[in-house]
A and B are shown apart, each in its own frame.
Chain A
Amino acid sequence: MLGGLAIAGPILFHLIRRSPEKRQDFSSLMFLEPDPPVFSKRSRISHWLLLLLRCLVILLLSLAFARPFLRTDDRVVAPGGLVTHWMIVVDRSASMNRDGVDDAVARSLREALDGSRPGDLALLAAFDGDFEILADWQPVESSTTTSAFDALIRQTPAGFGSTRLGPSLVQAAQIMDDRMAETGSRGSQVAGHIVLISDFQKGAQLDSVQGFEWNELVDVALVSVGSEAPPNAGLALLESDRPGFLRVQVSNDAENLNESFQVVMTGQTSGNVEPQTGEESDAGAAPNEKSYPVRVPAGSSRVISIPMDSTDWANGQLELRGEDSSNFDNTVYWAGSRVGNFNIRTFGLGDENASGTMAFFLQRAFGADESMPVDITPLDSISDLVAGAQYFLIGAGLQDLPDLDDLRQRLEQGVDFLWLPRSPQEFNAVRTALALGTGVEPDQENDGDGTATATATVPVMTSPVTVENSRSMVLLEEIDWTHPVFQPFRDPQFSNFSKVGFYRYLKLPASWVEPAGGRVVASLEGDSPWLVEFVVGDGRLWIMTSGWESGESVLARSSKFLPVLLSLAQSTGAWRSGSSQYSIGDAWKPFESDVALRTPDGRSIEVAAGESFPGLEIPGLVTVAGPRGEYAIPVNLDPRESLCSPSAVAQLETLGVPLNPVDVEERDSEQARAAAELAATKKDTEVESAQKNWKWVVAIVAAILILETWLAGWTSRRQAAIPAGESTV
């Protein structure tokens, strides 16, 4: 409507004008200064009609831009029907165990519902690694609700979990959205208010908040409770980079005045695992203690390696001692190098001590890795395999095995088998025993000379299997890079197999493989398969037509030998790599068939083979007792929990979390007003878009402008005809 004031313009210009007596050119204005214009006062208005038209144009234009419409309903929503949803989310992660934090939580909880009014709804939730609703939506009755929430939080003390703040906040917002939508559908005005009580430590995981679209009626109040807690120094066990050493990271809080610490190592020999926690560890000098001084400046961290070689300890704990008054993350548990397991069983690979045999090379390929114990055992018969356990079988010369017929059964049970057939006779015998093909019975399949004769379901072998001896090296011609075994070599940097050559190999007809249900993974020159994969039940059979025996090929001496074998091994179910440590909440899967666990708090749990145990809840050493003896797995706090400096608040702000103003009552009334205005504006917009009166106004303006142009032209022509006429507007 201010645009309407623009009408004053033409009137003012009409009545007032500057009246310089003369216009003069001058060389420079640098010595002159503009004086205010002198206006002549004219009370007489000339050209009434033109002035009127121009004023009308401006008036109508301002009206058109105001987009006028006829309001049909002037109802304004009153803020009385507002229901505020209060969601109180309390951090229960390990870092909340610090001294003084619990009191702060209780205090914050009492104040959290201060701004609530009767009729509001409240929900209490807690989170660490997981989000848990402790009390579902309920009407707020100020003192009752607060004390009920307080009691619930006391029943849920802070655990040892990590702080997954981001996912929890997102989950809270989604729950809030659902509830607000439900309340809103009943016709009430709604507002959401999430009160997040946490220490907002640096290690909180916030990534998932990024990009989350927040409901504009929801805001988040951050109540920080960790600030009273003393500064913290923490200890974390890292993956070891060299055998025989533990890698430990000591981090120090930026506000900690103390910089000198001692990492004290204690341990037990294998089989002497006593369940213990950090609180029980005695700082007094024990005979089986080793102390390592470490100096960590405030605000930084340092990684040290602690040798295990000099002791015969199998597991134990490391404790950080110094002037650190937070005790919650000062102990980590460690166990020896038993982190993985790989069972290889061999048949007919020769003497492992005789140079040049396949067993000789295999032993050297796998024997050196201490972090991954590989058990390579030669077997005499299939029956030596323990039922239920997972093995990687590598065999050659199988026709002499007494119980060859059991092999298929073992494969179906999940054993993976790398078979290196040495002769056509062996190939055919084993092929028969394994019933390679489409489920054909062994006795129907083969007549012994390599050609299939039996039923129509047996794939036809177009040419006999032969042993090829070549004077020159036969190279790999085609490799299926999409296969998991060769996928790691896909990069051109690693895909050069031209140094891997073969002199003696078993020539299989390639056309037989696919109908028989196999897949050629790699082929030699002349379209002869080198590596063929068959899936048999739960297990897999690899046929390698040329092995790595000295004189057979140069595979064992090429740089590709170990990577190919490892890649094969990792694709088998028997390869069980593990971590040197576990964090709270991790799942653990036993290597053996059935094991008995003893947790640090003394519980005994049976875990069957193939199942995973998700209950690593308490830091400490979990004892595993299985058929292969007793050993311990260390369970520690998430190292991120040690990063206690409260820096997540600033991050949340930058991640777009709608942080709320402090004054809740004012906020609520403002929100109600904003909601009412929003609704009214929406309604107005609908009415306006239906009427569109402004279009008519613009059309009238255009018509007036045409009239004004014609009139002005006519006037000036008329004035030109009268030389002594007055000037126009």
Chain B
Amino acid sequence: MVQNGNHESRWLDPSALMKLKSLELQIKVVVEGFLLGLHRSPYHGFSAEFTEYRPYVAGEDTRYLDWKLYARSDRNYIKKFREETNVRTYLLLDQSRSMAFSSGEYNKLDYARVLLGSVGYFFLRQRDAVGACRFDDTVHDFLPPRVRTGHLRHFLRVLHGAEPGHSTDLGGSVAKIGRLIANRSLVILASDFLGNLDSLEKEIGILRARGNDLIMVQVLDPAEIEWRGDRNLLVRDMETGREIFVQGGQAAERYRRRFADHQAKLSRICNTGGVRLCHVSTSQPVDQFAYHLIKSAAPGWLAGEPAGLARATAGSVVESSSGGDK
């Protein structure tokens, strides 16, 4: 559960950050201070860094025979290298109409946009390929992961184009995006997950089964986490336009109970699917959460981080529901 407040002054005030007009400027401000580092691949490949020798087995490609060693020792050995891979990352932004909800100065969509922008910018700086797309009940502006120069502009254009669209179809959209993702990738999905979760369970299972690593970031407004209406209200659903009349006192209790059930269901789905789930409130500093997210996505990237920074992140921001790091 998101815990408001309790963040140290080193983090940026999200209200101030959101006042910056340029998304590029916003994300650069956020990423400023993140330490650069290399991540090592768990896969062996044929790249630059030598790892070991292995005896040659008939039928193997002779390109990787160490001819010099053969000349010296009259034995055939294959030279193995450590592959340095680039992580392909897909950043998926929910732009459904419910993301436009705000109880303060900026809405969930703005927040999620800066958050994903920061993460993507950081990855691009690390020479990792970043792709992005937006979705509501369908998929918009799918940008395949690239690492080339100028890709940041395309990436920011995709995020910048996010406008509150239609109603959310989480399952359907994840299914469509899953068909677009060809290789094993890291997928970060930012949404409020306020919708029907039944179809989502199956689709993230399929996504995971294809070897993708999935992190789901639930962005919520503080007013959604705690129902504050204590008066009689005519409440209109931003996605469907349906209006209902609620009475303050009774609604709060009911809201609390149902919201807890929904969150528990979401956690259970993520647990079952082996997906890391992060919750964030829009009152939280973006840079703090982005830092945590990157750390959660690729442990070891931020090697050499200040000890205080790590402690503050772990203690205050996020409670992750499954196997992932805190």
Q: Which residues of A contact B (CB under 8 A)?
A: 18-35, 37-38
Q: Is the CB of A31 within 8 A of B232?
A: no
Q: How far is the CA of A584 from the CA of B194 in the complex (A)?
A: 85
Q: Are A25 and B236 in contact (CB under 8 A)?
A: yes
- Asked if residues A28 and B231 are in contact (CB atoms below 8 Å), the reply is no
In the complex, which of the residues B192, B235, B262 contacts A32, with contact meaning CB atoms closer than 8 Å?
A: B235
Beta-carbon nearest neighbor of B224 in chain A: A27
Which listed residue, A19, A25, A32, touches B246 by the CB 8 Å rule?
A: A32
CB neighbours (8 Å) of A20 from chain B are 232-234, 245
B239 interface residue (CB < 8 Å to A): yes
Q: Are A29 and B242 in contact (CB under 8 A)?
A: yes
Q: How far, in whole Å, are A186 and B245 apart by their CA atoms in the complex? A: 70
Which residues from chain B contact A35 at a C-beta distance below 8 Å? 244-247, 250-251
- Bound-state Cα–Cα, A493 to B235, Å: 80
- Please, which residues of chain B bring their CB within 8 A of the CB of A28? 98, 192, 194-195, 237-239
Give B210-238 as 1s and 0s: 1 = Cβ < 8 Å from A's Cβ atoms.
Answer: 00000000000100100101011111111
Closest Cβ of chain A to B307, distance in Å, is: 38
Nearest chain-B residue to A36 (Cβ)?
B245
Query: In this assembly, does B123 line the interface, its C-beta being within 8 Å of a C-beta of chain A?
Result: no
**From B231, B236, B245, contact of A26 by CB (8 A):** B236
B176 at the interface (CB under 8 A from A): no
Taking the closest CB of chain B, its distance from the CB of A23, in whole angstroms, is: 4
Q: Is the beta-carbon distance between B244 and A32 smaller than 8 angstroms?
A: yes
| Contact between chains at B231 and A34 (CB < 8 Å) | no
Q: With an 8 A cutoff between CB atoms, is B125 at the interface? A: no
A25 and B244 within 8 A (CB): no
The answer to whether the Cβ of B67 comes within 8 Å of any Cβ in the partner chain is no
Question: Once the chains bind, are A26 and B235 in contact (CB under 8 Å)?
Answer: yes
Distance, CA A35 to CA B235, complexed state (A)? 11
Is B194 in contact with A24, judged by CB distance below 8 angstroms?
Answer: no
Within 8 A of A (CB), among B99-130: 99, 101, 108
14 A-B pairs, CB-CB below 8 angstroms?
A20-B245, A22-B233, A23-B243, A25-B101, A26-B235, A26-B238, A27-B194, A28-B194, A28-B238, A30-B195, A30-B262, A32-B251, A33-B254, A35-B244
- Contact indicator A24/B101 (Cβ below 8 Å): no
Residues of B within 8 A of A21 (CB): 231-233
Verify B98–A27 contact, CB threshold 8 A.
yes
Complex Cα gap A136–B236 (Å) = 81
Instruction: State which of B227, B229, B236, B245 has its C-beta within 8 Å of the C-beta of A37.
Output: B245
Contact B259 A31 (CB under 8 A): yes
Please name all residues of chain B whose beta carbon is closer than 8 Å to the beta carbon of A37 when the two chains form the complex. 245
| B44 interface residue (CB < 8 Å to A) | no
Residues of B within 8 A of A25 (CB): 101, 235-236, 238
**Closest CB-CB distance, B200 to chain A, in whole Å?**
14
CB distance from A715 to the nearest CB of B (A): 26
Of chain A, the residue at the smallest CB distance from B97 is A27
Complex partner residue of B254 from A18, A24, A31, A38, CB under 8 angstroms: A31
Q: Say whether, besides A19-B232, A21-B231, A24-B229, A32 and B254 are in contact (CB < 8 Å).
A: yes
A28 to chain B: closest residue by CB? B194
Query: What is the chain B residue whose CB lies nearest that of A18?
Result: B245
Within B145-199, which residues are at the interface with A (CB < 8 Å)?
192, 194-195
Residue of B nearest to A33 (CB): B254
* B237 near A31: Cβ-Cβ < 8 Å: no
Given A20-B234, A33-B251, 8 further pairs, Cβ under 8 A: A18-B245, A23-B234, A24-B235, A26-B236, A27-B101, A28-B194, A30-B258, A35-B247
Which chain B residues border A24 with CB–CB below 8 Å?
A: 229, 233-236
Taking CB atoms, residues of chain B closer than 8 Å to A33 are 244, 246, 251, 254
User: What's the nearest-Cβ distance from chain B to residue A664, in Å?
Assistant: 60
Q: B245 to chain A: which residues have CB within 8 Å?
A: 18, 20, 34-35, 37-38
Q: Given A19-B232, A22-B231, A33-B254, does the pair A27, B238 have CB atoms closer than 8 Å?
A: yes
Distance in angstroms between the alpha carbons of A181 and B298 in the assembled complex: 99
Chain A residue numbers with a CB within 8 Å of B221 are 27
Q: Any chain A CB within 8 A of the CB of B255? A: yes
Quote the shortest CB–CB distance from A27 to chain B (angstroms).
4
The answer for the CA separation of A37 and B233 in the assembled complex, in Å, is 10
| Structural contact, A29 and B235, CB atoms closer than 8 A | yes
Name the A residues within 8 Å of B242 (CB-CB). 29
- Contact (Cβ within 8 A) A26 B237: yes
Find chain B residues with CB under 8 A from A26 CB: 101, 235-238
Known: A22-B233, A22-B234, A24-B233. A30 touches B194 (CB 8 A): yes
- Residues from chain B with Cβ under 8 Å of A18 in the complex: 245
Hey, which chain A residues are within 8 Å of B233, CB to CB? 20-24
Contacts of B232 in A (CB 8 A): 19-22, 38
- Closest B residue to A38 by CB, please name it: B232
Max count, chain A CB within 10 A of own CB: residue among B224, B237, B262: B237
- B255: chain A residues at CB < 8 Å are 31-32
Interface string of B288-305 (1 = CB under 8 A from A): 000000000000000000
Q: How far is A78 from B229 in the complex, measured between Cα atoms in Å?
A: 70
Q: How far is the CB of A32 from chain B (nearest CB, A)?
A: 5
Partner pick for B244 among A19, A22, A34, CB 8 A cutoff: A34
Given contacts A23-B234, A23-B236, A24-B235, contact A31 B101 (CB under 8 A): no
3 nearest CB pairs, A to B: A27-B98, A27-B101, A34-B244
Looking at the assembled complex, report how far the CB atom of B76 sits from the nearest CB atom of chain A, in whole angstroms. 65
User: How far apart sit A30 and B198, CA to CA, in the bound complex (Å)?
Assistant: 14
Whole-angstrom distance between the Cβ of B223 and the nearest chain A Cβ = 8
Is B258's CB under 8 angstroms from A31's CB?
A: yes
Most buried by B among A18, A20, A26, A38: A26
Nearest residue (CB) in B for A23 is B234
B59 to chain A, nearest CB (A): 59
Q: C-beta contact mask, B77-111 vs A, less than 8 Å → 1, else 0?
A: 00000000000000000000011010000001000
Q: Min CB distance, B119 to chain A, in Å?
A: 23
B102–chain A nearest beta-carbon distance, Å: 9
Are A27 and B192 interface neighbours, CB within 8 A?
A: yes
**Distance A19 CA – B99 CA, assembled complex (angstroms):** 29
The smallest C-beta distance from B65 to any residue of chain A, in angstroms, reads: 62
Separation of A30 and B232 alpha carbons in the complex (Å): 18
* Residues of chain B within 8 A of A23, CB atoms compared: 233-236, 243
Complex-state Cα separation, A25 to B221, whole angstroms = 13
CB distance from A712 to the nearest CB of B (A): 25
Complex formed: what's the CA distance from A28 to B196 in Å?
11
Report how far A692 CA is from B243 CA in the complex, Å.
46
Q: Which of A22, A27, A29, A38 contacts B247 (CB 8 A)?
A: A38
Determine the distance from Cα of A21 to Cα of B229 in the docked complex, in whole angstroms: 11
Residues of B within 8 A of A32 (CB): 235, 244, 246, 251, 254-255
Most buried by B among A25, A27, A31, A35: A27
Q: Which residue, A19, A21, A29, has most C-beta atoms of chain B within 10 A?
A: A29
Q: How far, in whole Å, are A162 and B237 apart by their CA atoms in the complex?
A: 77
Bound-state CA distance A19–B258 (Å) is 26
Taken together as a complex, chains A and B put the C-alpha atoms of A33 and B259 apart, in Å, by 12
Look across to chain B and name the residue whose beta carbon is closest to the beta carbon of A22. Answer: B233
Q: Which A residues lie within 8 Å of B235 (CB)?
A: 23-26, 29, 32
